[in-house]
A and B are shown apart, each in its own frame.
Chain A
Amino acid sequence: MRARGADWNELCAALEGREIFGPWFEPDFERESRRLQRATRALDVQAAARAAAALVGLGPGSTPAGDDFLIGWIAGLAVTKGGNAARASFLEKFRREVSLQKQKTHPLSARYLGEACELRFSERLADFVRAFAAGAAGWRAALDRVLATGHSSGAAAALGFARAALVWPGAR
């Protein structure tokens, strides 16, 4: 991860204050997101899978925002695991667990989530993740393209990426 401190600050500022989940879903999302962070940091696959299961299909949108968040989350972990075997093993098992939850969401969203579990992402998200991880100057424009996806889909995925990329020490 070659993004600089200023890039991280800009990324966080770009995501701050966005209405993604709305008043009904925000408390559940935040609670499960915190659980997911704690479990991922502790490399506890079962606890992370429980939090992910609560996020699948959660929230507004034809592709529920919880699914988009998880897609970004998987992308974030994929670029920060580095050569660490324990993290790589966690991610592999976590992807398998999330894949098992797909039927709990809209078929269209399930398709995207399933692809993410195979580490295949939309072109826009992949462009952004690559640019940001490489510290490339074009990351901001790539983020803008992600954020322009759907009403909140892009923002939820970018939020998932940002939070996941900060979970394991050493990313920032």
Chain B
Amino acid sequence: MALAHRVLANAYRDSVALMQLSAALAKLAGVKQASAVMATPANLELLRRAGLDAVPAQAKPSDLLIVVEGEAAKLPAALDEAERCLAAPSGGAPAAGPQQLAPRSIAMALAEEKSANLALISTPGDYAAAEALKALKLGLHVMLFSDNVSSADELMLKRRARASGLIVMGPDCGTAILNGIPLAFANVVRRGAIGAVAASGTGLQEVTVLVDRLGAGISQAIGTGGHDLSQEIGGISMLSGLAALAADAATKVIVLVSKPPAKEIAAAVLAAARRAGKPVVVNFLGADPRAVSGGNVHGVETLEDAANAAVAALKKRLPKRKKAIPGKTPKFGKGQHFIRGLFSGGTFCFEAALLLQQSLEDVWSNSPVGKAKRLADAWHSRGHTLVDLGEDEFTRGRPHPMIDHRLRNERLLAEAANKSVAVILFDVVLGYGSHADPAAEMVPVLRKARAIARKGKRRLVFVGHVCGTKGDPQGLEQQCKALEGAGVLLAASNAQAVRWAIGIVQGAKR
């Protein structure tokens, strides 16, 4: 093993970017480990002791030092790759000739691109409200990706936006597709006549993906942030989004998605939906669809139903559904009773809990809903457990599970070793922002999990669902093929995956 390094003078990247770079370099062939650190005397001294020599004496604490350890022949390429990543963080090649200074404020960016009408804000929560306010004052709509924004600030921003005929999507808004452009975590879907407004990131992704798979398209997909339909915020952004889609000639059918809203707010949203003048499909997860339906408003139980109903309203025919569980009825050991759901999408976990408790008792979650009980310790499962791995307890100091699969992989192996587990249920989210090749991360772990169960003379069933389209950068077909090759039963939607899992556990021989 050899060590090599490169010093980048006065280079600065935030810690998360440095960590991601280190992780990416460590995955290159022939590289054992890698680190991107500041060239401080303490770090240089330590690395010299570790065998790194020839570090330039003039290296100073404001310089960035990239160190890689591995096969000597492979290291120069790894350092080149690191430098390339750092030089072009947005993936673009540097322009020839004098380079224009990147804008350092929203006002500077607007001066450069005068036709812009939306600002996407992703700063630490402490600063996000101030930036959003600046954008609103400049007459821009706001997509607020940042979380940790107070309810008081959210209300202030949304009221101000409403007064100016603007919309604030967020805080904590992870998904939107505007005029065909996917923003943040979003999938590549065809354009069309179905518009959606959702207070749920993965809920919006699932609906837009399923609409695309059913051959229809999306006019606009507007996120509102998960807190929008609370009593406090009053559904300001959902009402604004709904009004915009009602007025949009290109939108023929509207879909609204949310976790159960406050009663008064639900009534206000439904009243507005009835005045929309076009079909509106409503999926208030956990609410009785019959209580929502009436006139042009059609209530549905699941995200899949929402997509189906929207396409049916557009094409005037119901989409076909594949219902049967594929494969033979499995035979489990005597003690194998439980489903363990490991979700990267919060809404998928929520929907799974709602469906599971209709058929099974003893449902637990770190993000419980309805009759599901709260896990005292999210790191340990009991009964039928559904875990939202995107919750704060799992993401502190780590990237989101849609990007970083390590935590889910560890949990998957732990569940496989548990004698009471029969089915492991999971989601895989494709699209912009998500991991570049989730199947490559999961397949070796699924094989290992199966081997663990086999060693204990148990059979384990994996049921998954890929939220993605043919146009997504990861390649839907390739991802599905790899997962199916590892023995995963792949359902067409989250709801179908959950129903399959229930059917397998209930129908299995023991």
Pair B12/A58 contact, Cβ less than 8 Å? no
- Whether A93 sits at the interface, judged by CB under 8 Å, is no
Pair A60/B19 contact, Cβ less than 8 Å? yes
- Name the segment of A34-42, A81-89, A103-111 touching the other chain: A103-111
Contacts A144-B396, A147-B396 given; does A58 touch B42 at CB 8 Å: yes
Q: Which applies to chain B's interface (DSSP): helix, strand, loop or mixed?
A: mixed
Identify which of A58, A61, A107, A153 contacts B46 (C-beta below 8 A).
Answer: A58
In the bound complex, residues from chain A placing their C-beta under 8 Å from that of B50 are 24
Chain B nearest CB, measured from A89 CB (Å): 27
- Whether A151 sits at the interface, judged by CB under 8 Å, is yes
Pair B40/A24 contact, Cβ less than 8 Å? no
User: Which size class do A's interface residues fall under?
Assistant: 35 or more
- Whether B371 sits at the interface, judged by CB under 8 Å, is no
Which chain A residues numbered 36 to 60 have a C-beta less than 8 Å away from chain B? 54-60
Pair B15/A61 contact, Cβ less than 8 Å? yes
A-B contacts, 30 listed (Cβ < 8 Å): A18-B397, A24-B47, A24-B50, A24-B67, A25-B43, A28-B46, A54-B42, A56-B40, A57-B42, A58-B40, A60-B18, A60-B35, A60-B36, A61-B19, A61-B38, A62-B18, A64-B38, A64-B42, A105-B40, A107-B61, A107-B62, A109-B38, A110-B61, A124-B126, A145-B148, A148-B392, A148-B396, A151-B397, A154-B397, A155-B397
- Whether B37 sits at the interface, judged by CB under 8 Å, is yes
Q: A144 vs B42: C-alpha distance in the bound complex, in angstroms?
A: 29
Q: Which residues of A contact B (CB under 8 A)?
A: 18, 22-25, 28, 54-64, 66, 103-110, 123-124, 144-145, 147-155
Pair A151/B19 contact, Cβ less than 8 Å? yes
Chain B nearest CB, measured from A159 CB (Å): 12
Pair B37/A151 contact, Cβ less than 8 Å? no
Q: A151 vs B35: C-alpha distance in the bound complex, in angstroms?
A: 14
Q: A110 vs B22: C-alpha distance in the bound complex, in angstroms?
A: 23
In the bound complex, residues from chain A placing their C-beta under 8 Å from that of B396 are 144, 147-148
- Whether B113 sits at the interface, judged by CB under 8 Å, is no
- B64: nearest chain-A partner, CB-CB: A62
Contacts A54-B42, A144-B396, A152-B397 given; does A62 touch B15 at CB 8 Å: yes
Q: A87 vs B484: C-alpha distance in the bound complex, in angstroms?
A: 64
Q: A148 vs B394: C-alpha distance in the bound complex, in angstroms?
A: 11
